[in-house]
Amino acid sequence: MKDQFGVLEDRIVYLKPIDKADLPAEVVEETGDIDQLWSVHNSEGEQLALVGDLDQAYDMAREFSYSPMTLH
């Protein structure tokens, strides 16, 4: 899609549920009693953030003008 200035930047991020057990030990230590984490990825699959709450992931995406979409 293009606008008057050229190609529009992709403004979608993908929110993926992450099991705590799948994370490296040093990350697990920092998560405390949280069992379900959410990974935020750009359209190329690069992880941008790891958060402890889906609502927080949505809020963070919108704060930076991204449209969040959940993956299952």
Low-confidence residues of the chain, pLDDT below 70?
1-9
- Residue 59 · residue 66 · CB < 8 Å: no
pTM of the model: 0.77
Q: Look up residue 48 and give its two tokens.
A: 């941008």
> Which candidate, 51, 24, 64, places its Cα nearest to that of 15?
51
For residue 15, the model assigns a pLDDT of 97
User: How many domains are there within the chain?
Assistant: 1
For residue 9, the model assigns a pLDDT of 62
- Residue 68 · residue 61 · CB < 8 Å: yes
- Residue 15 · residue 61 · CB < 8 Å: yes
Contacts of 28 (CB under 8 A, 6+ apart): 20, 21
For residue 36, the model assigns a pLDDT of 87
Domain assignment of residue 52, given as a range: 2-70
